Amino acid sequence: MQIHILGICGTFMGGLALLARQLGYTVSGSDKNIFPPMSDQLANAGIELIEGYSASQLNASMDSIIIIGNALSRGNECVEFILNEGLKYTSGPQWLAEHVLADRHVLAVAGTHGKTTTSSILAWILESAGKQPGFLIGGVAENFGLSARLGDSELFVIEADEYDTAFFDKRSKFIHYRPKTLLINNIEFDHADIFADMGAIRREFHHMIRTLPAQGQIVLRQDDTEISRIIEMGCWTPRVSFGIGAGDWTAEPLADDYCRFCIKHNGEEVGQVEWNLIGKHNCENALAALTTAAQLGLEPADACRALTDFKSVKRRLQRLACVNDITVYDDFAHHPTAIETTLHGLRMNVGRQRIITILEPRSNTMKMGVHQDSLAQSLSESDQVMLYQAENIKLDLNRISTELGDKCRIYTQIEEIIQAAATQSRAGDHIVIMSNGAFDNIHQRLIERLQA
């Protein structure tokens, strides 16, 4: 059977393509933004990639399933051809629910921040325990070298995204997953392009909670106000809580940058972790995953040992290179809270060494200016800030620059940013490139400039 995926290089759709390939389907797909690491992962799996959405990639007699990503909408050439010709189509979450998740114990990892890292940690803890889980994660988990696999057990870990399913199905993706175990890390306002307010987000999360069985399990962060409000809307599933200093399961730092911490259950220490990640947010992600694994009967001490070998996820403060003692990182920034916690964790790790942050405000919500009041504060740990002014964004970068003062500059050309970063950086500096897109390959271009 042939499957053709429109929007195949998105993190979710790319992972879905890998699962379909593992199931024995012949898989092809197209996208307007084909770039690593997803493009490399798909090519290595023998999946044909087509640049753009010309209808010539389709034909009226296609005997295949067409999966349409949520980035496509009415007016797209392929979408209009499919509708006019009456071709068979479905959404990624719907196909996944019917062909992969049916009859599996689904462990869904939800929340505004930390889904990718927490999903990867949970999958790795289960793998280290010999459980051989399946997973679909919104990034390439470095311990596995993949973003998705079928696995060899009933367990399946999935990053449960609240973004909408498709142009013909405006429910959140996670509504399709029907988890038995649900982990909710945190909830904030995001995705202003599809959610009018927090009330709309709460409704989607509560819709998912309504699908959980009474014999399932909800793992939730103890001190999150929005999670509490959603639970108050009605819950029929047992719950267990986690948090830094509060909850059934807690973590306490043993180092300022959280590279070492201890885990406690009901106040009693059950293990210690020393690992390669830094930051309070990553400690919380680890605690969330460990708490979830414990509900499946895994020993906390074994989970702590697994965390020691965890290698993180590509594009999550990923250390790309160190050139002349200048370290360059890639970080998948999409929200001020994530930016602030990432930079704070790095500050606690590097001390007084300089941090140069290069930010492309690229998420739909940031471009709309929704986070106008909090973005400057999120960058405050930086010694220098370089903001990229792309076209067609409502975010007022001049206001952010004014709030940050002399340490911030706005650039309209990526080449200008590369030149400035290369000439202004010095030994001991840390350059953090933050964007949830390819950013015109600025990472490699800057590394090559530093090497030159």
d(CA 68, CA 293): 33
pLDDT digits (tens, 9 = 90+) for 354-373: 999 999 988 777 777 777 88
Which candidate, 326, 318, 325, places its Cα nearest to that of 278? Answer: 318
Q: How far apart are CA 264 and CA 251, in angstroms?
A: 6
Look up residue 5 and give its two tokens.
Answer: 């995926």
Contacts of 444 (CB under 8 A, 6+ apart): none
Q: How many CB atoms lie within 10 A of CB 98?
A: 11
pLDDT of 241 > 80? The answer is yes
Residue 62: what pLDDT?
Answer: 73
Tell me the HSE value of 361 on the side-chain side, using a 13 A CA sphere: 31
DSSP run (H or E) holding 28: strand 26-31
Enter the tokens of residue 11. Answer: 């993190």
Give 411's pLDDT tier (boundaries 50, 70, 90): very high
Lowest-confidence range among 45-54, 101-110, 369-378? 369-378
Q: Let me know if 287 is exposed, middle or buried by CB neighbors in 10 A (0-12, 13-18, 19+).
A: buried
| Strand duo 318-323 + 326-331: pairing | antiparallel
Alpha carbons 190 and 198: distance in angstroms, whole number: 9
Q: Comparing 436 with 275, which gets the higher pLDDT?
A: 275
CA distance 165 to 71: 9
| Residue 48: predicted pLDDT | 92
Put residue 104 in one of left, alpha, beta given phi > 0 → left and psi -120 to 50 → alpha.
Answer: beta
Q: Which two tokens stand for residue 188?
A: 């904030």
Residue 361 structure tokens: 């405000």
What is the band of 374 on the pLDDT scale with cuts at 50, 70, 90?
confident
Angle at 194 between CA 191 and CA 196, to 5 degrees: 90
Mean pLDDT, range 150-163, rounded to an integer: 96
- CA–CA separation, 42 vs 36, rounded Å? 10
Amino acid identity of 133?
A: P
DSSP calls for 41-109: HHHHTT-EEEES--GGG--TT--EEEEE-TT--TT-HHHHHHHHHT--EEEHHHHHIIIIITTSEEEEE
CA distances from 133 to 126, 157, 227 (A): 7, 7, 27
Distance CA 14, CA 44 (A): 12
In whole angstroms, give the CA distance from residue 232 to residue 369: 31
Instruction: Tell me 383's DSSP state.
Output: S
Q: Which of 48, 60, 129 is nearest to 88 (CA)?
A: 60
> How many H-runs (helices) and E-runs (strands) does the chain carry?
15, 23
**Residue 260 above 90 pLDDT?**
yes
pLDDT tens-digit map of 14-68: 999 999 999 999 999 999 977 777 788 898 899 999 999 999 999 877 778 999 9
Q: Which domains are assigned to the chain? A: 2-91 (3.40.50.720), 103-308 (3.40.1190.10), 318-451 (3.90.190.20)
Q: Mean pLDDT across the chain, nearest whole number? A: 92
According to DSSP, the residues that pair with 330 across neighbouring strands are: 318, 433
| pLDDT, position 299 | 96
Lowest-pLDDT choice from 9-18, 182-191, 333-342, 345-354: 333-342
**In the prediction, which pLDDT does 313 show?**
80
